[in-house]
Amino acid sequence: MKTARLFLGQNAGILLAIALFLALYSIYVSLHPNWGMNVVLQNGNETLALILVGMAQTMAVLVGGLDLSVGPLMTLTNCFGSIVMAGTGGSILAGIVACMALGTACGFLNGCIIVYGRIQPIIATLATGAIFLGLALLLRPTPGGAIDGDFAWAFTNDLNELGYTYGWWEDLGLIGRIPLQPVYLALIILLVWIPFKRSVTGRGCYAIGSNAHAAYMSGVRIDRSKIAAFTLAGFFAGCAGIYLTMQMGSGNADAPQAAEYTLRSIAAVVIGGTSLYGGTGGVIGTIFGALVLRSISFIFRVVPEDSTVGFVASPLLQPFFEGLILLLAVSLGAARTFRAKNRLTLFS
């Protein structure tokens, strides 16, 4: 009983995000005229890049910073990817590896500037973000690039299509209907996030976020953990860029889109239960935070126009409601200000 309560207390944010997502998505499912695996696939396609950018942002927030370059870095790897992933067969694989390397290198650069240059993350990444966008524009002055159609189709679809396209396997039945996006996510979490979180460096990131001074006194290697966090953020942003390239089939140095992804990534992190002050949370919560954000937009598409709430289906109202829901979600945290017996406890 006590353990259960402790678990609830420690994971309140993430559980709230999961509940919110389940509630919103069930509304979507119940309103959708012909919901099925195809719709799930389409939803996954529209969400994965945001999830990955949100995961990148989570890394920066965990160590008590904010990374304003995640959107631009995604755009940069997208443009870079549209060039290096343009071939067929093995050269695509090499291109993907190159993109991951580029993202990781840019994240490492961010980390070094922040740690060794002693510049606040938000400002340093504001500047590197401008540089990344400039480089992206340099690579792709106009949108373009042609990714192999078969490849783009197969790798953004479900397991069956992947098998059919390349003749690797035949119909896998129900398992074959699993979309690839959750598979990618599971792979990244199992192979990258969990090993990182359990490593000394990863635990150091949490320690820095909750109390940098105490962490330093306890012998946590602050510099190494911070650089690792921003490097991993770069890796995640790079993955987002790769997925965007596969999904669009081309590269586009779209500055407004980069800014939008950066801002939404912050929202996804907050809804996912990671504290903006650092030290608690994790990328799993952010996944659900991003899913919540996207579910809201999905719902607006399927609200029947002739129902009593039909007026909200108007695309003109959608940005307004998105903002309002974001505001309400973050204001929920304000409950503690009304419970506080002593206002002094709030200043931390």
Partner 1 sequence: MSFRIDTPILIGLVFISLILAAGTSYTLATQGTATFVSPTYLLQQLHFGAFLGMTAAGMMLVILLGHIDLSVPWTLTASAMVASAIGGFAGDMTGLMVGLTVGLVNGIGVAFLRVPSMIFTLGMNTVLLGLMVMLTGGHAPQSAATDLMLFLGRDRTLGVPHSVIVWLIISAAIIFMLTRTAVGRYMYAIGNREAAAYLSGVRTRLVIVGAFMMCSACAAIAGISLAGYSARAFQAMGDPYLLPSIAAVVLGGTNILGGQGKYSGTVVGVILIVLLQSMLSIMQMEEAYRQVIYGAVIILMLLIYSRGRGRAAEA
C-alpha 299/C-alpha 23 separation (Å) is 11
- Between CA 295 and CA 220 the distance in angstroms is 39
Number of residues that bind partner 1 (CB under 8 A): 54
Binding segment toward partner 1, per CB under 8 A, in 32-40, 136-144, 174-182, 209-217 = 136-144
Tokens 């694989």 correspond to what residue? 93
Q: Does 316 contact partner 1 by CB under 8 A?
A: yes
Per CB under 8 A, contacts with partner 1 among 21-80 are 66
With left for phi above 0 and alpha for psi between -120 and 50, is residue 284 left, alpha or beta?
A: alpha
Residue corresponding to tokens 């889109």: 257
Q: What are the structure tokens assigned to 59, written together?
A: 């890394």
- Which of the stretches 17-25, 122-130, 183-191, 210-218 binds partner 1 when contact is defined by CB under 8 A? 122-130
* Residue 309 interacts with partner 1 (CB under 8 A): yes or no: no
CB 50 within 8 A of CB 290: yes
Q: Is 219 left (phi over 0), alpha (psi -120 to 50) or beta?
A: left
Q: List 267's β-bridge partners, or say none.
A: none
Which residue in 20, 124, 55, 111 sits closest to 264, CA to CA?
55
The answer to whether 330 contacts partner 1 (rule: CB under 8 A) is yes
**Near partner 1 by CB under 8 A: residue from 15, 105, 131, 194:** 131
Contacts of 211 (CB under 8 A, 6+ apart): 279
Question: Which of 126, 189, 212, 302 is the binder for partner 1 (CB under 8 A)?
Answer: 126
CB of 133 to partner 1, least distance (A): 5
Contact segment (CB under 8 A) with partner 1 among 40-48, 84-92, 207-215, 252-260 equals 252-260
The yes or no reply on residue 341 touching partner 1 (CB under 8 A) is: no
Contact between 138 and partner 1 per CB under 8 A: yes
Q: Which residues bind partner 1 (CB under 8 A)?
A: 66, 113, 117-120, 122-124, 126-131, 133-138, 141, 253, 256, 259, 263, 266-267, 270, 276-277, 314, 316-324, 326-327, 330-331, 333-334, 336-337, 343-344, 346-348
